[in-house]
Amino acid sequence: MMSTQRDYYEILGIKKGASVEEIKRAYRQLVMQYHPDRVPQDKKKEAEEKFKELSEAYAVLSDPKKKELYDNYGHAGVDSRYSTEDIFKGADFSEMFRGRGDLGSIFEELFSGFGFEDFGAGAGYGRTSRRRHGEDAHLEMSVTLEEAALGTEKEISFYHYENCPQCKGTGAQPGSKKETCPTCRGRGTVSSGMGFISFSQTCPSCRGEGAIIKNRCNKCSGEGRIKVRKQVKVTIPQGVDTGSILRLKEEGNYGDGGFGDLYLHINVKPHPKFEREGDDVKCKITVSIFKAMLGAEVEVPTLFGDVKMNVPAGTQPNTIFRLRGKGMVNLRTKRVGDQLVEVGIEIPKKLSLREKNLLIELAKLRGESV
């Protein structure tokens, strides 16, 4: 039997005065490390002893009253009621955890968030299987930049699992029933005892259901669901971008607890004219050197149709103009971005003799030698 005189704080690797959360975190990490099912066969005995030691330390330090006794009087304050022998005989077990719920709830609290629904003592107190929703489904969808800017409605087609219409989701042939699993006797888990700790895992025969099907439904082969093709209309809101995810509630796969969700992963296709930059849209246009010099009203394409834009006289190459409210709608704030128009200057490659002479004359007027 392990010594009860070893310091409980040392066992959990924490300092005296540690908070309840620190105690719980340390215990959870060490239990995961020394769980007998997670160590090689030749180290199981050592792990079991370590597990008992950890449980004893946690049983005292996790209870404020017992912790206070231990902090003030050491082992003498708790040994009379919480010795190792008493704990594993169950004599003072209920007293030790009074006010903290049963052992199952304690382990459920400790390991919540880790995904181990059948892990720890809680599994030994009854079936762990629950009615679960079906799996979520994921689908990629591509839209154009115009569709992202304006919003649109699309019809999509996909496969998902639905409740079997023949067996109504039971998996059993109509007229027959599920039978209690002989391996786990309906509990959904199989356990191996170790003192007051019960290590459990999902029953391999019934996969945690607690029941088995001898006469399987011939339509779904006992799965309780079938794969079907479905078509739905989807509203694409204004402002979606590559990486946006749309959730279609209960359009995923069927499970005995209902349908999961369908997640649409949006991809916005590249555009030949426009480039998105956050909520703004950028584009380039080219005007003649004469319009840039003299000023002009030019037509500019936008995602919402062509608009007129004034190019002032003396516009320089690569000048950027802003068209307010011609960008993308922000999905969160609903603010509308702008369109940034970069103006390039087109210089004629060929000139007539008269055009050359006029330009030479203009250059001389400006004091330039050409």
d(C-alpha 31, C-alpha 51), whole Å: 7
Residue whose pair of structure tokens reads 């199952």 in the numeric block = 104
pTM greater than the 0.75 cutoff: no
Query: If you ran DSSP here, which 8-state letter would residue 172 be given?
Result: B
132 domain residue, yes or no? no
Our count of domains for the chain comes to 3
Parallel, antiparallel, or unpaired: how do β-strands 275-277 and 179-180 relate?
unpaired
Over the stretch 94-124, which tens digit does the pLDDT of each residue have?
A: 333 344 444 444 444 444 434 343 333 333 3
Q: For residues 243-272, give the mean pLDDT.
A: 93
Q: Do 263 and 144 fall within a single domain?
A: yes
pLDDT of residue 205: 84
213 domain residue, yes or no? no
Question: Which H or E element spans position 96?
Answer: helix 93-96
204 domain residue, yes or no? no
125 domain residue, yes or no? no
Q: Do 158 and 263 fall within a single domain?
A: yes
pLDDT band at 354 (very low <50, low <70, confident <90, very high): very high
- The domain of 168 spans 137-174+218-268
**Cross-strand pairs, 284:** 342
Phi-psi region of 65 (alpha: psi -120 to 50; beta: other; left: phi over 0): alpha
d(C-alpha 173, C-alpha 152), whole Å: 44
Q: For residues 275-290, give the mean pLDDT.
A: 96
Q: Do 347 and 237 fall within a single domain?
A: no
d(C-alpha 239, C-alpha 296), whole Å: 32
Other CB atoms within a 10 A radius of the CB of residue 240 amount to: 24
Over the stretch 52-88, which tens digit does the pLDDT of each residue have?
A: 788 888 888 888 888 888 888 787 767 644 443 333 3
d(C-alpha 111, C-alpha 29), whole Å: 10
The answer to whether 227 and 211 are in contact (CB under 8 A) is no
Q: Which amino acid is at 310?
A: N
Pull the structure tokens for residue 137: 């489904």
187 domain residue, yes or no? no
Q: Is the model more confident about 106 or about 264?
A: 264
Which CATH number is 149's domain given? 2.60.260.20
d(C-alpha 155, C-alpha 228), whole Å: 16
